[in-house]
Amino acid sequence: MSDIEQRDDTATDGVGDWAGNPYASRMVEYTPYAVALGMKFVSSSAGRGEILLPWREDLVGQDGTDILAPGVLTALIDHACGLAIMAGLGFEAAPATLDLRIDHMRPAAPRASVTCSAHVYRATRTIAFLRAEAWDVSPDDPVAAAQAAFTLNRRSVK
């Protein structure tokens, strides 16, 4: 009934028995801003999503550094979170970002591409809570870590 009670049946990784959405990659391939930044779908499963953002000269934050702008990572992280949700719930979940907090632990390496992996660690009927990390070389040495909450529309979802 309440959101709190809903948490019980979504305890495993926050996504319960949501079926994986085989078309989730479309949200990377057809979203204009994701396409404009050159994001590439890597993988998804229920409540998880991973996207690669290849390095590109026009996405650098400061001339002469060859380092991707932090704002580019913000979009990548936000989109990976959306992918993680839609991969579990389908497109009808219509997730919208409520808030997003990002720690930039270190700059990415010059000319390095960045990958972001996001997962839903808890979901209620109306809210999904996510964590995400982004790295250039190894997931063990992230450039950024993030935590986010998204609103969901689950009226049409069990």
Partner 1 sequence: MTAAADLDTILSSSPFARFLAIAAHADEHGVLATMPVRDQLVGNVMLPALHGGCVASFLEIACLLQVAHEVGTNAPARAINISVEYLRPARRETTYARAKIRRLGKRVAVVHAEAWQQDESKPVCLLQSHLRLPAGLASE
Residue 63 near partner 1 by CB under 8 A: yes
Q: Which residue among 15, 55, 79, 128 contacts partner 1 (CB under 8 A)?
A: 79
State the Cα–Cα distance between residues 128 and 126, nearest whole angstrom: 7
- By rule CB under 8 A, what string of x and - marks binding of each residue 102-131 to partner 1? xxx--x------------------------
**Other beta carbons within 10 Å of 73:** 22
Residue 9 C-beta: closest distance to partner 1, Å: 28
Residue 74 C-beta: closest distance to partner 1, Å: 5
Residue 78 near partner 1 by CB under 8 A: yes
Label the pairing between strands 144-151 and 96-104. Answer: antiparallel
Contact 60, 66 (CB under 8 A): yes
Can you tell me whether residue 59 is helix, strand or coil?
A: helix
CA–centroid distance for 79 within its chain: 5
Q: Which amino acid is at 133?
A: E
Residue 38 near partner 1 by CB under 8 A: no
Q: Which residue among 42, 69, 112, 127 contacts partner 1 (CB under 8 A)?
A: 69
Residues that bind partner 1 (CB under 8 A): 30-36, 57-63, 69-72, 74-79, 96-104, 107
